[in-house]
């Protein structure tokens, strides 16, 4: 940022060129703010300082809304996005934080899935947990990288050419742990990756699920 700004000061560029330089600086500042805010959020979660605005959250509705936001990105990439969710899957949680966790997983899945691939997002109730899974047919993660993917700034070899700062998955794990849950991941290189967020279900959510005799599934973009 400083280097670009210094070049702008010393150059005799046109007004339009200076505007382009200013736009580059603004974009770089935005990226830096995202990184700093993510680092602060992870640190607060790990230290126990962060607080949840816990309310009943329907994960089925949250996932559907989040996937809808990502529909244009998947269409641009030529990737099929499908969603499978029950009518009700309640947890006690902070909706914006949970939505951020799902959004981070979707962003990763889109980033590493080539055109013609698919991403399947599912919400289910298993035992006493609401499970949100994001499965893609992307490049996959090598076995040696899997134990480290939640570490800050860690980026596997295949991801170094992609934009990112290596903080997204750490933020996902921090958010889920704040909610008393856990994150599971499985992957096969060349076949794809599946992340599962396990969150304690509210009793109302389990009853609501039992009352629903059928699941509603829809393919976005069809």
Residue from 197, 190, 106 nearest 143 by CA: 190
pLDDT, averaged per 10 consecutive residues of the chain (222 residues), comes to 84 84 85 75 71 87 94 94 90 91 93 94 93 95 83 60 67 90 93 95 56 38 45
Main-chain phi, psi angles of 47, to 5 degrees = -90, -10
> What pLDDT score does 72 carry?
93
What is the dihedral sign for C-alpha 84, 170, 198, 139? positive
Residue 143 to residue 137: CA distance in whole angstroms: 16
Q: For position 15, what pLDDT does the model report?
A: 83
Length of the chain: 222
Q: Which of 156, 47, 150, 53 has the alpha carbon at shortest distance from 105?
A: 150
Contact 87, 127 (CB under 8 A): no
Q: What is the value of pTM for the model shown?
A: 0.72
């Amino acid at each position: 940022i400083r280097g670009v700004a210094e070049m702008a000061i010393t150059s005799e560029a046109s007004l339009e060129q200076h505007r382009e330089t200013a736009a580059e600086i603004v974009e770089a500042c935005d990226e830096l703010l995202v990184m700093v805010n993510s680092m602060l959020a992870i640190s607060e979660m790990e230290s126990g300082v962060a607080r949840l605005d816990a309310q009943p959250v329907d994960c089925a509705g949250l996932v559907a809304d989040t996937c809808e936001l990502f529909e244009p990105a998947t269409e641009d990439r030529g990737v099929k996005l499908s969603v499978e969710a029950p009518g009700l899957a309640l947890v006690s949680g902070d909706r914006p934080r949970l939505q951020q966790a799902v959004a981070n997983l979707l962003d990763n899945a889109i980033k590493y899935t080539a055109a013609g691939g698919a991403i399947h997002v599912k919400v289910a109730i298993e035992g006493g947990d609401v499970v949100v899974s994001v499965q893609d047919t992307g490049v996959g993660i090598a076995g040696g990288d899997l134990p480290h993917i939640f570490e800050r700034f860690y980026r596997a070899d295949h991801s170094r050419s992609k934009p990112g700062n290596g903080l997204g998955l750490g933020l996902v794990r921090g958010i889920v742990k704040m909610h008393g849950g856990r994150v599971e991941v499985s992957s096969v290189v060349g076949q794809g990756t599946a992340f599962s967020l396990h969150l304690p279900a509210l009793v109302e959510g389990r009853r609501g699920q039992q009352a629903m005799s059928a699941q509603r599934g829809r393919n976005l973009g069809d």
